[in-house]
Amino acid sequence: MSATRTLVVLAPHWSTVAAGIPPDEPAVVVFANRVIDATPAAHTHDVQVGLRRREAQSRCPALEVIEHDPARDARRFDPVVSSLERLTPRVEILQPGLCSFPTRGPSRFFGGDDALAGLAVDYAGEAVADAIVLDPLPPALLPRVGVADGLFAASLAAQRERHGTSEVIEPGASGSFLCNFSVAALVEGASPLAGHDDLVDVFWRLGLRTLADVAALTSEDLLARFGVPGVLAHRLASGLDDRPPDTRPVPEGLAREAQLDPPADRVDTVAFVAKTLADEIDERLASNGVVCTRLVIEAVSENGEVRTRVWRHEHRFTAAAMTDRVRWQLDGWFHSAQRPTGGVVTLRLEPDEVVPDEGRQLGFWGGQSNNDERAARALARVQGLLGPDAVTVPERGRGRRSADVEKRVSLTAVSLSSDRPLTAPELADAPWPGRLPAPSPATVFSPPRHIEVRDAEGGAVMVTGRGDVASDPVHVIAEGARRKVIGWAGPWPLDERWWDGAAHRRQARFQVVLDDGTAHLVSVERGNWWLDATYD
Amino acid sequence: MATAAPDLDELRRLTQLTAPVTLAREHTLPVLEELRPLLPERGVRRGSTVAVRGDGSCALAIALTAELSRTGGWVVCVGVPTLGVSAALEVGAALERWAFVDDPGDQAAEVVNALVSGVDLIVIGPQVRLRFTHTRRLAARLRERGTSVITIAPDPSASLAADLTIEIERSTWTGVEWGHGRLRARRVEIVTSGRGAAARSRRLAAWLPGPEGRIQVIGQATLRRPNNSDGTDGTDGTDNTAEMAGATAGTVVDLARRAG
Q: How many domains does chain B have?
A: 1
* Whole-number percent of chain A with pLDDT over 90: 9
Please give the average per-residue pLDDT across A243-247, as a whole number: 50
Q: Is residue B5 part of a domain?
A: no
- Fill in the amino acid letter for A249: P
Residue A337 is classified by DSSP as: T
Q: Where are the domains of chain A?
A: 5-237, 264-356, 378-433, 443-534
Q: How far apart are CA B260 and CA B248, in angstroms?
A: 18
- Measure CA of the first residue to CA of the last residue in chain A; give whole Å: 68
CATH no., domain A5-237:
3.30.70.270
Select from A377, A444, A511 the Cβ nearest to the Cβ of B84: A444
Alpha helix positions (H), A150-227: 151-160, 174-178, 197-205, 211-216, 219-226
The pLDDT mean for chain B works out to 78
Considering only CA atoms, which of A186, A187, A190, A168 is closest in space to residue A177? A168
Select from A438, A441, A516 the Cβ nearest to the Cβ of B213: A438
Considering only CA atoms, which of B94, B102, B81 is closest in space to residue A403? B81
Residue A367 binned pLDDT confidence (cut-offs 50, 70, 90) = very low
Residue B92 zone, left/alpha/beta (φ > 0; ψ -120 to 50; rest): left
> Does residue A281 contact residue A319 with C-beta atoms inside 8 Å?
yes
Select from A374, A394, A469 the Cβ nearest to the Cβ of B98: A394
Q: Is residue B56 part of a domain?
A: yes
Of A111-120, A183-192, A328-337, least confident by mean pLDDT is A183-192
Q: Which residue has the higher pLDDT, A26 or A353?
A: A26
Whether the predicted pLDDT of B253 surpasses 60: no
Q: In what order do the strands lie in the sheet with B216-222?
A: A406-410, A391-396, B98-101, B75-78, B121-124, B148-152, B49-53, B164-176, B181-194, B202-207, B216-222
Query: Is any Cβ of chain A less than 8 angstroms from the Cβ of B256?
Result: yes
At B106, phi and psi to the nearest 5? -95, 10
Chain A to chain B Cβ contacts (< 8 Å): 191
> Does residue B197 contact residue B39 with C-beta atoms inside 8 Å?
no
Please give the average per-residue pLDDT across A393-406, as a whole number: 76
pLDDT for B241: 41
Provide the 10 A C-beta neighbour count for residue A89. Answer: 12
Chain A contact set for B87 (CB, 8 A): 439-442
* Whole-number percent of chain A with pLDDT over 70: 90
Whether the predicted pLDDT of A369 surpasses 90: no
Q: Is residue B244 part of a domain?
A: yes
> Does residue B130 contact residue B149 with C-beta atoms inside 8 Å?
no
pLDDT for B60: 92
Q: How far apart are CA A37 and CA B100, in angstroms?
A: 36
**Dihedral of the alpha carbons of A15, A16, A17, A22, in degrees to the nearest 10:** 180
Residue A291 binned pLDDT confidence (cut-offs 50, 70, 90) = confident
Chain B contact set for A366 (CB, 8 A): 70-72, 94
Query: Is any Cβ of chain A less than 8 angstroms from the Cβ of B76?
Result: yes
Would you tell me the crossing angle of helices A370-386 and B108-116 to the nearest 10 degrees? 160
Q: What's the pLDDT tens digit per position in B100-118? A: 999 988 888 889 988 988 8
pLDDT for B243: 39
Would you call B89 and A375 a contact, using CB atoms and an 8 Å cutoff? no
Q: How far apart are CA B38 and CA B201, in angstroms?
A: 11
Considering only CA atoms, which of A125, A141, A126 is closest in space to residue A20? A141
Q: What's the pLDDT tens digit per position in A227-237? A: 778 888 888 88
Mark A503-528 as b/e (b = at least 16 C-beta within 10 Å): eebebbbbbbbbeebbbbbbbbeeee
> Does residue A416 contact residue B118 with C-beta atoms inside 8 Å?
no
Q: How far apart are CA A92 and CA A84, in angstroms?
A: 10
Mark A251-275 as b/e (b = at least 16 C-beta within 10 Å): eeebbbebebeebbeebebbbbbbb
Chain A contact set for B99 (CB, 8 A): 375, 379, 391-393, 411
pLDDT for A238: 83
Please give the average per-residue pLDDT across A233-250, as a whole number: 69
Whether the predicted pLDDT of A510 surpasses 80: yes
Q: How far apart are CA A231 and CA A241, in angstroms?
A: 12
Instruction: List the CATH number of the domain containing B230.
Output: 3.40.50.300
Rounded to two decimals, the pTM is: 0.54
Q: How far apart are CA B152 and CA B166, in angstroms?
A: 10
Considering only CA atoms, which of A420, A377, A371, A374 is closest in space to residue A396? A420
Q: Is residue B51 part of a domain?
A: yes
Please give the average per-residue pLDDT across B234-238, as a whole number: 40
A401, A440, A520: best to mutate for the B interface, most B CBs within 10 A: A440
B91, B101, B103: best to mutate for the A interface, most A CBs within 10 A: B101
User: Number of C-alpha atoms within 13 angstroms, CB side, residue A72?
Assistant: 13
Whether the predicted pLDDT of A100 surpasses 70: yes
pLDDT for B23: 45
Q: Is residue B22 part of a domain?
A: no
> Does residue A36 contact residue A18 with C-beta atoms inside 8 Å?
no
Give the CA distances from residue B185 to residues B67, B85, B173, B176, B212, in Å, rounded to whole numbers and listed in that order.
21, 19, 6, 9, 8
Measured in angstroms, the CA of A444 and the nearest CA of chain B are apart by 5
Q: Is residue B14 part of a domain?
A: no
pLDDT for B237: 39
Q: Is residue B4 part of a domain?
A: no
Give all strands (DSSP E) within A304-417, no chain letters.
Answer: 306-312, 344-356, 391-396, 406-410
Considering only CA atoms, which of B254, B223, B214 is closest in space to residue B241? B223
Would you tell me the crossing angle of helices B108-116 and B132-145 to the nearest 10 degrees? 10
- Fill in the amino acid letter for A505: R
Chain A contact set for B179 (CB, 8 A): 469, 472, 488-489
Q: Is residue B41 part of a domain?
A: yes
Range of the domain at B179: 28-259
Query: Is any Cβ of chain A less than 8 angstroms from the Cβ of B226?
Result: no
B107, B174, B183: best to mutate for the A interface, most A CBs within 10 A: B183
Q: Point out which residues pair with A248 in neighbouring strands.
A: A354
Chain B contact set for A513 (CB, 8 A): 173, 176, 183, 259
Strands A306-312 vs A166-168: parallel, antiparallel or unpaired: unpaired
Whether the predicted pLDDT of B236 surpasses 50: no
> Does residue A473 contact residue A456 with C-beta atoms inside 8 Å?
no
Query: Is any Cβ of chain A less than 8 angstroms from the Cβ of B155?
Result: no
Would you call A440 and B87 a contact, using CB atoms and an 8 Å cutoff? yes
Q: How far apart are CA A388 and CA A410, in angstroms?
A: 8
Q: What's the pLDDT tens digit per position in A301-313? A: 988 888 888 888 7
- Tell me the fold of A264-356: Dna Ligase; domain 1 (3.30.1490)
Would you tell me the crossing angle of helices A219-226 and A228-237 to the nearest 10 degrees? 150
> Does residue A357 contact residue A228 with C-beta atoms inside 8 Å?
no
Considering only CA atoms, which of A139, A114, A100 is closest in space to residue A3? A100
Chain A contact set for B83 (CB, 8 A): 442-444
At A534, phi and psi to the nearest 5? -125, 135
Q: How far apart are CA A74 and CA A332, in angstroms?
A: 7
Chain A contact set for B84 (CB, 8 A): 402, 406, 440-444, 533
Give the CA distances from residue B149 to residues A275, A287, B42, in Å, rounded to whole numbers and listed in that order.
28, 31, 16
DSSP per-residue string spanning A97-139: TEEEEE-HHHHHHHTSHHHHHHHHHHHHHHHHHHHHT-SSPPG
At A350, phi and psi to the nearest 5? -135, 115
> Does residue A346 contact residue A259 with C-beta atoms inside 8 Å?
yes
Strands B49-53 vs B44-45: parallel, antiparallel or unpaired: unpaired
Would you call B84 and A402 a contact, using CB atoms and an 8 Å cutoff? yes
At A35, phi and psi to the nearest 5? -70, 125
Q: Point out which residues pair with A505 in neighbouring strands.
A: A496
Q: How far apart are CA A131 and CA B167, in angstroms?
A: 66
Nearest-5° Cα angle at B99, B97 to B100: 160
pLDDT for A45: 87
